[in-house]
Amino acid sequence: MAMNFEQARQNMVENQVRPWDVLDARVLDALAQVRREEFVPPQYRQLAFADACLPIGHGQVMMKPVIEGRVLQALDLKPTDRVLEIGTGSGFLAACMAQLCAHVTSIDLQADFTAAARARLDAAGVANVDLVTGDAINGWQPQESFEAIVVTGAVWQVPPRFLGWLKPGGRLLAIRGESPAQQAVLLTQAGAGGFREEYLFETDLPYMAHAEPPRRFVF
């Protein structure tokens, strides 16, 4: 029997995401409108709405829908915001953010991720996302600053250079710490170079390349 993707999408929003305290109507609408099944690897299409992380290659995963919902809600994107996504992955989160803000710049180290995301976004008619292939942790420098930055893979520590890319009052969301008890944190610029930290929830994601914990030597 063919899967009813529209029913599965509605079930995902109402039975997974909303019960996890994602109540922002704009976020729920974005998750209901973007066709998630078109952004997962073809072999996982039938699992597009499962409450599970899905492998996408290069040791990375597509976040669970509930995590995506919480991330989108915490970012509190405005229609005029310009957003930087560090870690394009499948392109799904970029597509959702594009529904909520003015423009998304998304960078990924893997050229095949960037190419596949471009094809998916174009097929979905998403025109306000620019994709870049590069290393955001080492070397790449944006040509503008942003109201919001989201880091979609785990980092041991948030690179200070990321914080320098925020506009005054901007916010950065990252999954930070040591597996298997990483924390989603929202850092909001509070003036005079300071940041206010808000701990959102615990999760466990693969580390981004060049962002792993330091090696520990055992004697």
Domain segments of the chain: what residues? 5-203
**Residue 217: pLDDT over 60:** no
**Residue 180: pLDDT over 80:** yes
Given the DSSP bridges, would you call strands 82-86 and 146-155 parallel, antiparallel or unpaired? parallel
- Domain with residues 5-203, CATH architecture: 3-Layer(aba) Sandwich (3.40)
HSE value, Cβ hemisphere, 13 Å, CA-based, for 145: 12
**Residue 214: pLDDT over 70:** yes
pLDDT band of residue 122 (cuts 50, 70, 90) is very high
Q: For residue range 83-102, what is the model confidence (pLDDT) as tens digits?
A: 999 999 999 999 999 999 99
Quote the pLDDT of residue 193.
75
Quote the pLDDT of residue 219.
56
Q: For residue range 23-55, what is the model confidence (pLDDT) as tens digits?
A: 999 999 999 999 999 999 999 999 999 999 999
Quote the pLDDT of residue 153.
96
- Average pLDDT of the segment spanning 10-27: 97
Quote the pLDDT of residue 23.
97
Quote the pLDDT of residue 218.
56
Quote the pLDDT of residue 1.
56
**Residue 107: pLDDT over 80:** yes
Q: Which residues contact 106 (CB under 8 A, 6 or more apart)?
A: 84, 85, 87, 88, 91, 94, 117, 129, 130, 131, 132
Quote the pLDDT of residue 190.
87
